Amino acid sequence: MTSIKTPSTERPTPPDSAPAAALHTGTSDLRALVLNNLRQSGIYVALVVIVALFAILTDGVSLSPGNITNIVLQYSYILVLAIGMVILIIGGHIDLSVGSVVALTGAVSAVLVIQQGYPWWVGVLAALVVGVAVGAWHGFWVAYAGIPAFIVTLAGMLLFRGLTLRVLDNISLSPFPAEYQRVAAGFLNGLLGGQGFDAFTLLIGAVAVAGYAVSGFRTRVARIRYQQPVESFPLFVARVVAVGAVIMYFAWQLAHARGLPIVLIVLAVLVLVYGLLTRRTVFGRQVYAIGGNLSAAALSGVKVRTVNFWMFVNMGFLAAVAGVIYSSRSNGAQPAAGNMFELDAIAAAFIGGAAVTGGVGTVVGAMVGGLIMAVMSNGMQLMGVDQSTQSVVKGLVLLVAVAFDVYNKRRAAGTR
Amino acid sequence: MDDTILEMRRITKTFPGVTALEDVTLSVRRGEIHAICGENGAGKSTLMKVLSGVHPAGSYDGAILFDGKPMQFRGIRDSEANGIVIIHQELALVPYLSIAENIFLGNERRGRSGLIDWNRANADAAELLASVGLHENPVTPVIQLGVGKQQLVEIAKALSKKVRLLILDEPTAALNDVDSAHLLDLLRQLKEQGITCIMISHKLNEITAIADSTTVIRDGRAVETLDMRAEDVSQQRIIRGMVGRDLDSFYPDRVSSPGDEVLRIEDWSVRHPTQDRLVVEGVGLSVRAGEVVGIAGLMGAGRTELAMSVFGRSYGRDISGRLFVHGREVKARTVAEAIDNGIAYVTEDRKRFGLNLIDDVRRNVSAAALARLARLGWVNGNEEIKVAEASRREMNIKAPSVMAVVGKLSGGNQQKVVLSKWLFTDPDVLILDEPTRGIDVGAKYEIYTIINRLVGEGKAVIIISSELPELLGMCDRIYTLAVGRITGEKPVGEATQESLMELMTKDKELVG
């Protein structure tokens, strides 16, 4: 285990040399670090293995610039849904209706923009408003009427699918104007020029890496100031270099395709915001507390109903974001849009380490879980595997991922 | 004939990184009541799990001889087939099934067709219930029974399995005095029928009253076995074995100097959340700074209900009455408001209501006052760690770090985490509901010391407890509660166990 230096006084005087100390203090016990984070590192390893596997099986096509861009465009809305879903699952709930809500919000937007001729942003705003309203509807029934989320959102799944059909009058609408299509199919490129690649994309990639390094270093300095255990400096550098290399490779490939997809920016912002929201805010912590032990949370002064309500409002909002992206990408609204999206989002959360019983899970984990599903589906499509086999494989992966998690937990319980 | 029914020889059981039992030898005579005591985490439960096959043969070293024959139990079915039945502390009954269905669960009475013969099952169940002195219809759902009666159903279930060695883990921990006495009587009867009993208990007065021998376990070793019939073994003597030293006194000394009144309730009434009856009726009480006030009452007297209704109306409905903090009337309609008004309530059931067992020490400590660590909704994680570290040191919480998961700590350390959580809300008055339930003697002493320190700092403390010696040892004043009403109030100097018990049972007789 890592050694903990217990503060000698009530209020440890911050050593002025903390930044300097950040360069050498800490454990270099890689094994302990990996074991401590087995739950998390397990899925990273799985993702790397799956990426490598399909790179080999498709002769590198899966890692080609064009295909990486495709994966981002094709699965971004599932990842957006997975953010809201993992938060609900941590809180001990579920949402089965998100597929229907994606369809409904897309339909409302399409009716306004395509049928009524409003500008593109009116459609986007209307979709978000509808999504939030749907979330508030679910939130009311779960939080204030005390109906289990499974039932409420199962009803919502039927209800909002029905409303979608009503709104669309049972027909598909298309196409959207060019501005609206840009949301999901647009790229930021050519802003800084470049020879056969997009310099701007690389710049953004570099900024992201720098941001990662700086924030990591600042956390490290603060940890040391509070005399908490940290990883050794070489290990820290190795981590930053590894993550930086992955990001830059990714940016490099994107730069050689069509540039930086707008949805990727949206997704990155959402992951960043919600990652912080769940880990660092009072609201996020109360979600974990409710999922971990509802009664104890209530008796600790957590306003359980309010928190539950806003969790669902948030899910509705994110479903609307996904609805806009999806309608933009498919360039129209269809009555059957978003079918089964809820299952992909739920699967992403569980593969990413969320617990069925609530109280456990992370946004980043859900993203990795979603990427595992995405890379698998995409890889199998590239290989020409038929739909039935794809479904079987995805089902088995979900089962194995959760089984591994259960096994891990049982082993952890057995050690004491 | 051999006098020994069970011999466990040199049992050693290790978990990765921990030796739970080391070279434990236990010998139980036929037809005796054999008590096992020791601090929490000493290895009592592990020993019983080895005996009952929960830890299967091969996962431990040593031998088990039952009736002189070596046994290799691979699971609980093996041990039950040999007449060894264990009743766990947390009762394992299915709440919505009937008494008879529970008794024969997994051991169903089948007719010739292979289907369950319910007539026979119910008739057999009725017979078993009579033998444990429980007068209930076998078709009654178990959820309608109190804990005491559920315990009797468990014993009836054990009898249905032709039990020869009955193991009871903390059988009276959740029972009131009347039910406990009844249970102990039943154990004596079973003994006369030739059933051997092993009983794990923290209640030393029960052990001295009923046990024929007592084995003390400390740090995974069997320290000694005391013959309770041959010697006159006192509770102090057992405690010495458990902690390895004499506790000078159960209760640390404290100089009492009450100050101004901190909390007062007047004419407080609470209705049951689903049934149409008052659980608390017209209660008035007060507590001053630097004072410890006790509430004594039997189970069902409305103690917890009173406390929780005061604590942000977290129990009951139609709550009426007035609540004053520092002489000013406050409403405290929600838990958050109660906390803001300086009230803290430490639950009697820390696992269900007190802790997030899957989370770490740090986040449990900060859970009730996260706002104190946050600015504009953002939690300062480093400050949080510092606060948790401070609690760990001050409360002497034995955990590898504040990142340790609370569910893996012992009961006493979990209780210290709950206390830390409430102290971090900086309360003026602490309501402690059974603060030492299910924790070992050493940790109890530490909790008492902490209480005294808080009182010394000017906090007001209310202790709710079923253990009268605890109230007499810790409090300045004691209220007695019976059937939702205050039946008496005594300074500790004028109170005795007998006089309190009389007041606690007073209203019961009046009401019938």
**pLDDT for B347-403, tens place per residue?**
988 988 999 998 999 999 999 999 899 988 899 888 999 999 999 999 988 888 888
**pLDDT of A14:** 43
**pLDDT of B16:** 65
- Does residue B232 register a pLDDT over 90? no
**pLDDT for B94-110, tens place per residue?**
888 999 999 998 888 88
- Residues in chain B with CB shorter than 8 Å from the CB of A310 are none
**pLDDT of A114:** 93
For residue A156, the distance in angstroms to the closest alpha carbon of chain B comes to 30
For residue B299, the distance in angstroms to the closest alpha carbon of chain A comes to 21
Mean pLDDT for all residues in chain B: 87
- Residues in chain B with CB shorter than 8 Å from the CB of A353 are none
Domain A58-189+258-408 maps to which CATH number in 1.10.3470, 2.30.30, 3.40.50, 3.30.530? 1.10.3470
For residue B209, the distance in angstroms to the closest alpha carbon of chain A comes to 34
For A12, the closest chain B residue by CA position comes to B386
**pLDDT of B425:** 93
> Which of these ranges, A76-85, A279-288, B17-26, B428-437, has the smallest mean pLDDT?
B17-26
- Residues in chain A with CB shorter than 8 Å from the CB of B338 are 301
Reference A173, options A327, A324, A325; nearest CA is: A327
Reference B335, options B465, B412, B425, B470; nearest CA is: B425
**pLDDT for B317-363, tens place per residue?**
889 999 999 999 998 899 999 999 999 999 988 988 999 998 999 99
Interface test with A, best of B359, B361, B433 (most A CBs within 10 A): B359
For residue A84, the distance in angstroms to the closest alpha carbon of chain B comes to 19
List residues in chain B touching A: CB distance below 8 A: 15-18, 311-312, 314, 334-336, 338-339, 345, 347, 352-359, 363, 367-368, 370-371, 374, 377-379, 381-383, 385-386, 389-390, 393, 400-401, 408, 421
Contact B429, B342 (CB under 8 A): yes
For domain B4-243, the CATH architecture is: 3-Layer(aba) Sandwich (3.40)
Sign of the Cα pseudo-torsion (B140, B146, B151, B152, in order): negative
Reference A320, options A75, A77, A91, A74; nearest CA is: A77
**Cβ neighbours of A339 (radius 10 Å):** 14
Model confidence at A140, pLDDT cuts 50, 70, 90, reads very high
For A298, the closest chain B residue by CA position comes to B335
Residue ranges per domain, chain A? 58-189+258-408
DSSP string, B1-42: ---EEEEEEEEEEEETTEEEEEEEEEEEETT-EEEEE--TTS
- Residue B435 burial (CB < 10 Å; 0-12/13-18/19+)? buried
Q: Which has the higher per-residue pLDDT, A33 or A382?
A: A382
Model confidence at A12, pLDDT cuts 50, 70, 90, reads very low
**pLDDT of B424:** 94
For residue B358, the distance in angstroms to the closest alpha carbon of chain A comes to 6
**pLDDT for A50-94, tens place per residue?**
999 999 999 888 888 888 888 888 899 999 999 999 999 999 999
**CATH number listed for the domain at residues B248-342+460-512:** 3.40.50.300
Closest in B334, B377, B393 to A281, CB measured: B377
For B383, the closest chain A residue by CA position comes to A226
For A286, the closest chain B residue by CA position comes to B367
- Does residue A10 register a pLDDT over 50? no
Contact B142, B102 (CB under 8 A): yes
Domains B4-243 and B248-342+460-512 share a fold: yes
Interface test with B, best of A6, A90, A279, A285 (most B CBs within 10 A): A285
- Does residue B91 register a pLDDT over 80? no
Model confidence at A32, pLDDT cuts 50, 70, 90, reads low
**pLDDT of A45:** 82
Model confidence at A269, pLDDT cuts 50, 70, 90, reads very high
Q: Cβ A289–B363 below 8 Å, yes or no?
A: yes
- Does residue B509 register a pLDDT over 50? no
In Å, how far are A291, B258, B420, B423, B462 from B345, measured between CA atoms? Answer: 21, 21, 12, 10, 9
Residue ranges per domain, chain B? 4-243, 248-342+460-512
In Å, how far are A26, A96, A272, A319, B233 from A80, measured between CA atoms? Answer: 36, 15, 12, 8, 69
B160: left (phi over 0), alpha (psi -120 to 50) or beta: alpha
What ipTM was assigned to the predicted interfaces of this complex? 0.81
**pLDDT of B453:** 92
For residue A96, the distance in angstroms to the closest alpha carbon of chain B comes to 26
Contacts of B171 (CB under 8 A, 6+ apart): B87, B89, B151, B183, B199, B201
For residue A212, the distance in angstroms to the closest alpha carbon of chain B comes to 19
**pLDDT of A232:** 81
Q: Cβ A295–B353 below 8 Å, yes or no?
A: yes
By percentage, how much of chain A surpasses pLDDT 90?
Answer: 56
Question: Alpha-carbon distance B19 to B21, whole Å?
Answer: 6
By percentage, how much of chain A surpasses pLDDT 70?
Answer: 87
**pLDDT for B59-69, tens place per residue?**
899 999 998 89
**pLDDT of A194:** 67
A–B CB contacts, 8 A cutoff, strictly below = 98
- Residues in chain B with CB shorter than 8 Å from the CB of A12 are 386
Closest in A4, A10, A293 to B356, CB measured: A293
